[in-house]
Structure 1
Amino acid sequence: QQCCGRQHFQWISSRTARSEEDRDTLWDAWGSWSECSRTCGGGASYSLRRCLSSNCNTSNVTFIVCDCPVDSGDFRAQQCSAHADVRYQGQFHEWLPVYNDPDNPCALKCKAKGSGLLMELAPKVLDGTRCYTESLDMCISGMCQIVGCDHELGSAVKEDNCGVCGGDGSSCRLVRGHYKSQHASGKTEDTVVVIPFKSRHVRLILKGPDHLYVESKTLQGVKGQCILDQSGQYQLENTTLDYQKLSDKEVLRIPGPLGADFTIQVSGPDSIIQYIFYQPIVHRWRETDFFPCSVTCGGGYQLTSAECFDLRSGRVVVDQYCHYYPENSKPKPKLQECNMEPCLASDGYKQIMPYDLYHPLPQWESSPWTACSTSCGGGIQTRSVSCVEEDMQGTVIATDEWKCLYAPKMAILQPCNAFDCPTWMAQEWSPCTVTCGQGLRYRVVLCIDHRGLHAGGCNPTAKPHIKEECLVTVPCYKAIDTLPVEAKPPWHKQAIALDEETVVTEEPE
């Protein structure tokens, strides 16, 4: 186990130096730092100084945070459990910590497990105990002191929503949305959203009869599952899930960062799920080194480029991954001169490409877009993009891509036909064709496109039926053909004609 060290600080180990303040107020130099109040997991250390006069108005003690990344458990819970061998009201108890006391967060208040007994077991918690569970602020001498994310006492530096200390929020993006569960035939669950690894501040609210559950998948492909059946805290892939099951809704909070990709699913029909979280931008542009010089002598130029880098896998990926994030801006290539030495007469000129005012620079050239991959519902078109240049005879030929990187490369993918596919729309049923007994009723079913117009293109196998039997719960005392004319609805004649046909069609003539 790694031992705690005192990080981020410059230590004072002697009384040989005195600051201007020390001399002005007649304070002695600060003494050496005390041992950390904890062996690991975050604590406090103090230093003392001696007043050399009767006019010392400032404190003679100062504190710093001594911290390390090792998690050694809940410090407040350890202090409560230390009282398990002391009798209270004549018996021993297993004490559990009481957190986030708004009146006195630095008192050691504990509750007895299995009973309603709540006691203040000590007026002050040990130095280095967190004031609140969701804060870095810590108790020093019974007082709550501000601690920044840089682990400095009195520091106001905070983490941004991406988890970066003092960050500006540019390394992640806010994702919010809502989902209505619609279970298809044979399916028992719906996928609401996939929340990527390292996401933070996840909050989901489900309203309706559905139930939430979570599946995880690590970068190595290891899968896990968490069924949320009652209110409480759950652990999945070293991530704490705070779940509340209320009478009319379910609430899931995950502070993060997530230890894997989490897939949120629901089981049950007809619910609305709202979600919000901060997703890390895992694909970033990374500037490359300079490419080879355009000439071997006589003065040329060389360029840098930018490649899309996957922070999770540590590998370079295609540029489209970085283009996915609007927050990502590709660095512009840098240009510098190179190989400025004159070419030796004995060797002749070794210029690879003698660019000048009369010779055009290489440029990107694209092929036409392919046909869209789908006719509706959102598809993709592709094209090829290559770097070309003119040779000395004016013939356009393909060349190395780095020569064109002074200009942005054209996209090779674009969305197309993003409009919704046509769907069937059924109108209201007609009245029954009879006024008593069993008859037929009809409706009009239209194929409606994204413009609201009647068009083709709907799936014929999914077309709703246009006629069905109907029953009028009125006894028939006369034959149908002797009914009064005024009692026969407009569909009656067509229904009779349909019944007489040997092959019954679905639509009335």
Structure 2
Amino acid sequence: MIILVCGDQNQGAVFLREFTLIRRESLHDDFLSDLLNNHKTEDPSSRTARSEEDRDSLWDAWGSWSECSRTCGGGASYSLRRCLSSKTCEGRNIRYRTCSNVDCPPEAGDFRAQQCSAHNDVKYQGQFYEWLPVSNDPDNPCSLKCQARGAALVVELAPKVLDGTRCYTESLDMCISGLCQIVGCDRQLGSAVKEDNCGVCNGDGSTCRLVRGQYKSQLSENKLDDTVVAIPYGSRHVRLVLKGPDHLYLETKTLQGVKGENNLSSTGSFIVDNSSIDFQKFPDKEILRISGPLTADFTVKIRYAGAADSSVQFIFYQPIIHRWRETDFFPCSASCGGGYQLTSAECFDLRSNRVVADQYCHYYPENIKPKPKLQECNLDPCPASDGYKQIMPYDLYHPLPRWESTPWTACSSSCGGGIQSRSVSCVEEDIQGHISPVEEWKCMYTLKMPVVQPCNIFDCPKWLAQEWSPCTVTCGQGLRYRVVLCIDHRGIHTGGCSSKTKPHIKEECIVPTPCYKPKEKLPVEAKLPWYKQAQELEEGAVVSEEPSLLIGFSRFIPEAWSSCSVTCGVGSQVRLVKCQVLLSFSQSVADLPIDECEGPKPVSQRACYSGPCSGEATEYTPEETDLLYGSFQEFDELYDWEYEGFTECSESCGGGVQEAVVTCLNKQTREIADETLCVMSRRPPQLLKACSLDPCPPKMGDWEMEHLQSYLWGRIADTRCLLFSPIIKRN
């Protein structure tokens, strides 16, 4: 059994040093007496002088400090004093301090575990056990409780652990004489100094940064797992919470390049690359905690296990591994007669223990480069000088070296953000005003001017499309138009936009109102109003801006717009709008009175913009602003239905029918795609048009022709104006 022998108030306590573990049956009475006798024969000269407080009391001076209870990992040492009166002295006769505050080698193991294993060769209730430590007992953390391996047997093998044993695994507090004593991060008893989140004792948290975030899984048929977050070496206070059906696992890589993996298959505490990990697994969530500091780079990954999405919230403190380190003073600028020398700062990689480029330290906003220090040096007069050489102030007679720069280069981009650079050098000016380059360290007492800066960070010109005009028809299919301008970041119409990205200025439109039905009451097919048709309908030809006529139906036909009335600024355009009808037999167009066409008449005047006038500020009225800055909406879908020409005509003469071919197109590449990629509910309706309208060889006399023509003109008087609509489909 491990023992700790205590004497009375005058005798104090006797310490058993680390690993001095004695079995009960081998302990003799003369052994204890030797310990006590050795302590009583203390050399009086080793005692310290009595303090003023001791002189006013009945205590003798404190004795010397004992040997440390541990050789590493933090132990305790004690000092005793005697009461010089036969009466009771107020206060304690023993005091403690920490010692051996150096980390133990990894192979040394846990101190509490060593004390439990010392009982492995001692029978308990007639049987040998392999004892494991029971830590973090909230009721009595300083008793030696051990558990038999492979059994539920927990026994208190000693009422007290050896001095210097940690009270709790995650604390520096230590047990002394069976009581838990507070120990600060400065390893001093009774100290309340704590480590900051970066692991720095009494630090201000400036050596690390808080990282927090959230990951949401995105299921994919081709991916079985995904990376959640990479946590670098040295990070602390790591916590991740996964909610969902998926599972977490770890990949590690040490500084030596050794890789590892842990599947985290069950709840428990694990050691992964010398880092202690606590993992909890529940049916609907998983929790991962690592106190740190991490001894390797950890990559937390997620393995997909279900159809539902999962989310992971994480938080940890990441060390700032690149920090500024002040250098020693550089050599003096003069060997005699007075000179100056400076310190500098270099960026130091804490992981590789080497100096790296300054840009690594500039990455962290928390890193503030220390200002160089300047001092005079070699003030002794030079041997060749006559007497003492007075050192004059540098700013009056010998200016300090300074930074000088060349002009900025042209910007690498005309818009959208570019960079420009310049060279910066350290120069020195002598008394005669001659300037010469010198080593950069001489100018490090001031901040070096930047050598690169951003430029032209304003947005590049963009196409701006105004609102679409009304559809040119009141029923069926027509056209609509808009103005598209190239506008720069100041809102001025300019050039510079790519013609490849210019939005189209016209497109077909569908008015859902059914067009006039003839007396036969046959069904009329019209396109749905939401369908956007910009593809040319005429096979092998561009869609004409002129709306087409149907045989026997009158409609408004607008002519081309005139030129803009002004050469700059906002003007107007006009056009002529006619009411016309197509005659079937003569295949000619006839003008009708305006009141013969029903529905709204297309506008015959509109505003136009010819660019800003030179030398004038561009100012617009509200009406002009609406004209120039209309809003437009683009389709988000990559695939959509479009018409791609027509089938061959069903008849060679006398009038036939062609059916529009509907295909699923990739809107970016304009390539035909599989129909399953397009939304079936958005497939446009069947569209027919007349064809082969030339009459077949005549089979009737002239009087029959005149009779039919008279009949047609009689029909026109009763016909309502119909703008372009799909051909009537006959069953």
TM-score of the superposed pair, with normalisation by structure 1: 0.69
Contact 1:15 1:28 in 2 (8 A): no
Query: How big is the shift at 1:173?
Result: 2.7
**In 2: Cα distance, 1:387 partner to 1:60 partner:** 67
Tell me, yes or no, if structure 1 residue 59 matches structure 2 residue 59: no
Which residue identity lines up with residue 44 of structure 2 in the other structure?
Answer: R
Which residue identity lines up with residue 76 of structure 1 in the other structure?
Answer: R
Tell me, yes or no, if structure 1 residue 311 matches structure 2 residue 311: no
**In 1: Cα distance, 2:133 partner to 2:204 partner:** 35
Which residue identity lines up with residue 74 of structure 1 in the other structure?
Answer: D
1:396-435 map, 5 Å: 400-412=439-451
**In 2: Cα distance, 1:394 partner to 1:49 partner:** 76
Residue 363 of structure 1 is matched in structure 2 by 403
**In 2: Cα distance, 1:417 partner to 1:120 partner:** 75
- Deviation string for 1:3-36 (max 9, x for gaps)? 98xxxxxxxx743334224433322344454554
**In 2: Cα distance, 1:326 partner to 1:356 partner:** 37
CA 1:109–1:360: 2 relative to 1, 3 Å: closer
1:112-191 map, 5 Å: 112-182=148-218, 186-191=222-227
1:100-119 map, 5 Å: 100-119=136-155
CA 1:263–1:405: 2 relative to 1, 3 Å: same
Residue 50 of structure 2 is aligned with which of 12, 15, 19? 19
Q: Give the secondary-structure state (helix, strand or coil) at the position aligned to 2:98.
A: strand
Residue 110 of structure 2 is matched in structure 1 by 74
**In 2: Cα distance, 1:114 partner to 1:45 partner:** 37
Tell me, yes or no, if structure 1 residue 275 matches structure 2 residue 314: yes
Q: Give the secondary-structure state (helix, strand or coil) at the position aligned to 2:195.
A: coil
**In 2: Cα distance, 1:256 partner to 1:418 partner:** 42
Residue 255 of structure 1 is aligned with which of 273, 286, 291? 291
Residue 372 of structure 2 is aligned with which of 318, 333, 337? 333
Q: Is the deviation greater in 18-27 or in 334-343?
A: 334-343
Tell me, yes or no, if structure 1 residue 192 matches structure 2 residue 223: no
Query: How big is the shift at 1:259?
Result: 1.4
Tell me, yes or no, if structure 1 residue 49 matches structure 2 residue 81: yes
**In 2: Cα distance, 1:403 partner to 1:394 partner:** 18
Q: How many residues in Structure 1 have an aligned counterpart in Structure 2? A: 439
- Deviation string for 1:245-270 (max 9, x for gaps)? 22222222222222122222222284
CA 1:74–1:419: 2 relative to 1, 3 Å: farther
Alignment root-mean-square deviation, CA:
4.7
Which residue identity lines up with residue 441 of structure 2 in the other structure?
Answer: W
Residue 237 of structure 2 is matched in structure 1 by 201
Contact 1:14 1:32 in 2 (8 A): no
Q: Give the secondary-structure state (helix, strand or coil) at the position aligned to 2:44.
A: coil
CA 1:338–1:123: 2 relative to 1, 3 Å: closer
1:89-100 map, 5 Å: 93-100=129-136
**In 2: Cα distance, 1:487 partner to 1:359 partner:** 88
Contact 1:97 1:109 in 2 (8 A): yes
- Deviation string for 1:405-444 (max 9, x for gaps)? 3431233456899999xxxxxxxxxxxxxxxxxxxxxxxx
**In 1: Cα distance, 2:274 partner to 2:72 partner:** 19
CA 1:506–1:193: 2 relative to 1, 3 Å: closer
Query: How big is the shift at 1:56?
Result: 0.9
CA 1:409–1:209: 2 relative to 1, 3 Å: farther
Which residue identity lines up with residue 111 of structure 2 in the other structure?
Answer: F
Structure with greater Cα Rg: 2
CA 1:185–1:135: 2 relative to 1, 3 Å: same
**In 2: Cα distance, 1:48 partner to 1:399 partner:** 65
CA 1:74–1:176: 2 relative to 1, 3 Å: same
**In 2: Cα distance, 1:261 partner to 1:327 partner:** 22
Contact 1:370 1:383 in 2 (8 A): no
CA 1:87–1:171: 2 relative to 1, 3 Å: same
CA 1:313–1:40: 2 relative to 1, 3 Å: closer
Which residue identity lines up with residue 54 of structure 1 in the other structure?
Answer: K
CA 1:364–1:263: 2 relative to 1, 3 Å: farther
TM-score of the superposed pair, with normalisation by structure 2: 0.50
CA 1:39–1:304: 2 relative to 1, 3 Å: closer
Contact 2:50 2:61 in 1 (8 A): yes
Contact 1:127 1:141 in 2 (8 A): yes
Contact 2:212 2:315 in 1 (8 A): yes
Tell me, yes or no, if structure 1 residue 226 matches structure 2 residue 273: no
Q: Is the deviation greater in 23-32 or in 151-160?
A: 23-32
Which residue identity lines up with residue 333 of structure 1 in the other structure?
Answer: P
Query: How big is the shift at 1:202?
Result: 1.9
Contact 1:159 1:166 in 2 (8 A): yes
Contact 2:185 2:195 in 1 (8 A): yes
**In 1: Cα distance, 2:385 partner to 2:224 partner:** 80
CA 1:142–1:383: 2 relative to 1, 3 Å: same
CA 1:138–1:298: 2 relative to 1, 3 Å: closer
Q: Give the secondary-structure state (helix, strand or coil) at the position aligned to 2:361.
A: helix
**In 2: Cα distance, 1:111 partner to 1:325 partner:** 48
CA 1:386–1:24: 2 relative to 1, 3 Å: same
Contact 1:41 1:73 in 2 (8 A): no
Q: Give the secondary-structure state (helix, strand or coil) at the position aligned to 2:314.
A: strand
Q: Give the secondary-structure state (helix, strand or coil) at the position aligned to 1:79.
A: helix
Residue 275 of structure 2 is matched in structure 1 by 239
Residue 124 of structure 2 is aligned with which of 65, 68, 87? 87
Q: Give the secondary-structure state (helix, strand or coil) at the position aligned to 1:216.
A: strand
Which ranges of structure 1 fall in alignment gaps of 5 or more residues? 5-12, 347-353, 421-450, 461-481
Which residue identity lines up with residue 160 of structure 2 in the other structure?
Answer: K
1:205-220 map, 5 Å: 205-220=241-256
Which ranges of structure 2 fall in alignment gaps of 5 or more residues? 1-16, 19-41, 387-393, 460-488, 490-496, 502-520, 534-640, 647-659, 668-683, 688-731
- Deviation string for 1:178-218 (max 9, x for gaps)? 33344667443333333222222222222233322222223
- Deviation string for 1:458-479 (max 9, x for gaps)? xx9xxxxxxxxxxxxxxxxxxx
Query: How big is the shift at 1:327?
Result: 1.9
Percent identity over paired residues: 64
Q: Give the secondary-structure state (helix, strand or coil) at the position aligned to 2:103.
A: coil
**In 1: Cα distance, 2:202 partner to 2:323 partner:** 20
Contact 1:147 1:153 in 2 (8 A): yes
- Deviation string for 1:138-161 (max 9, x for gaps)? 222222111223333222233232
